Chain A
Amino acid sequence: MITTANRLDHFLARWGVNRMGHRVEPGLYRLGNPTPASPVFASANYTLSFDALRSALTGFDAYILVLDTKGINVWCAAGKGSFGTEELIHRIETACLTDVVSHRRIIVPQLGAPGISWMEVLHRSGFRIEFGPVRAADLPEYMNTLTATPAMRTVQFPLRDRIVLIPVELVQVLPWAVVATLVVGVFLNWMIAAQLLTAVLAGTVLFPALLPYIPTKDFSTKGLLLGALVMVPFVWLGRAAGMTPWMQAGYAITSLLFFPPITAFLALNFTGATTFTSRTGVRKEIFTYIRVMAGMLVTGIVLAVLLFVVRAGWGG
């Protein structure tokens, strides 16, 4: 059963509290009243993974073999190899699984496949791997039909999955962003401070939510577009603040050079949290855009200094 304590643990995990501490003790677990003929499911020792599995299997009699993935979810652990062939064989042996069950099948989540070779597990342990659906929620249907539909086999990245990632992104950058905002506000200008905070929030909150709707495929260009868009109200406000046309233009250009790269950099870093970026593609993005972002940022600073000098000169 998923208890209130479990739900609190899930909530804290989402906010990045005690990041690596959401663990289940590795080993073999009994769900319901399993018999030697009951199915065996492999899982990671991350509470969100383990609880997703056992809540999907409510009402089933089964065994859950929890691998030691250091508190990391199945997919990421598979990518690192900790949800892997060696660990699975090790857990089969230490749990004496051959004595517990009469069959020789283990249902492994499909996203564990980057770490687990079915040939090697079969060869060394005698157990045959069945790759189950991507999402634990599809398991009841899978157990009925014993086949996974193409939809069950593919990874999506819907709004809900993107929204739940926002808190952990926010928790990481917000303390820095708040300090920077206060420093800029106190020593420089509160308008610029507000722009800075807006650029950061655009990259961490708006970007994950709006990801599929922002034009272009590259995360960097998506971030630059979004970053420019959120600067528009400030440019408009600057116009209302009674600047000369030249100052307005200078302020607008400076804002559009300096702040969008901040949003874009945060957007680029979101690639790691998504389900569809390849290493080759991300590497290409880094090589293409990091220098563009840096160039925009530096040009923006130079322009800002020039504007400041010009205005001071006219004022005096």
Chain B
Amino acid sequence: MIIFNSYQKNTLNLDPTRCINCGICQTVCPHAVFGAGDNVAVLASPESCIECGACMKNCPVRAITVESGVGCAEAMIRQAITGSKTATCGCGGDGEASSCCCSGDEK
């Protein structure tokens, strides 16, 4: 469905001129965004990117850029209300409880 889809665009960018096809982006990506190309990695499913930043953090030649951050409405709304600079989950500090993201237990 094309309408009512806010998740078609994101900030992921792959620079093929830098890529050395090492494959680490395919290893770390939890949504199979990258695919193996002949000479360089390819964006197989860019719209699946959740901007976690794992690929950028582990790319040895800095071929990948992405504005990573938490995809959490609660954190962003709180950020807007409190006026803090960065959106972080409430689960970050001691004490404050929030459902934001920290409920997952994937390992």
> Which residues from chain A sit less than 8 Å from chain B, CB to CB?
16, 19-20, 43, 46, 48-49, 52-53, 70, 72-76, 78-80, 109-111, 113-119, 131, 134-136, 148, 150, 153-155, 161, 164-165, 168-169, 172, 215-219, 221, 268-286, 288, 290
Contact = CB atoms under 8 A, between A and B. Distances in A.
- Most chain A CB inside 10 Å of its own CB: which residue of B24, B48, B60, B71: B71
Contacts of A134: 30, 106-107
Given A110-B27, A168-B99, A276-B31, A48 B71 contact: no
Interface string B70-85: 1111111100100000
Contacts, number: 208
5 contacts: A269-B99, A271-B71, A272-B73, A273-B101, A281-B71
Contact of B104 (A150, A273, A277, A282): A273
A135 B30 CA distance: 11
Interface in B36-52: 48-52
A119 B75 CA distance: 31
B6 A114 contact: no
Contacts of A148: 27
Main SS class of interface, B: loop
Contacts of A155: 30-31, 106
Nearest to B88: A80
Contacts of B100: 272-273
Contact of A271 (B9, B72, B80, B93): B72
A52 B75 CA distance: 27
Contact of A279 (B29, B70, B95): B70
A12 to B, nearest CB: 13
Nearest to B87: A279
Interface in B8-54: 8-11, 24, 26-32, 48-54
A78 B57 CA distance: 11
A272 B74 contact: yes
B56 to A, nearest CB: 9
Nearest to A169: B99
A19 B97 contact: yes
A113 B6 contact: no
Contacts of B4: 216-218, 221
Given A52-B105, A111-B106, A276-B48, A76 B54 contact: no
Contacts of A284: 6-7, 9
B104 A275 contact: yes
Contacts of B52: 78-79, 113-114
Given A273-B104, A278-B71, A217 B6 contact: yes
A272 B89 contact: yes
Contact of B49 (A72, A79, A278, A290): A278
A47 to B, nearest CB: 10
A75 B104 contact: yes
Contacts of B67: 279-280
B107 A278 contact: no
Given A53-B107, A272-B74, A80 B89 contact: yes
Contacts of B31: 154-155, 276
Nearest to B27: A131
A117 to B, nearest CB: 5
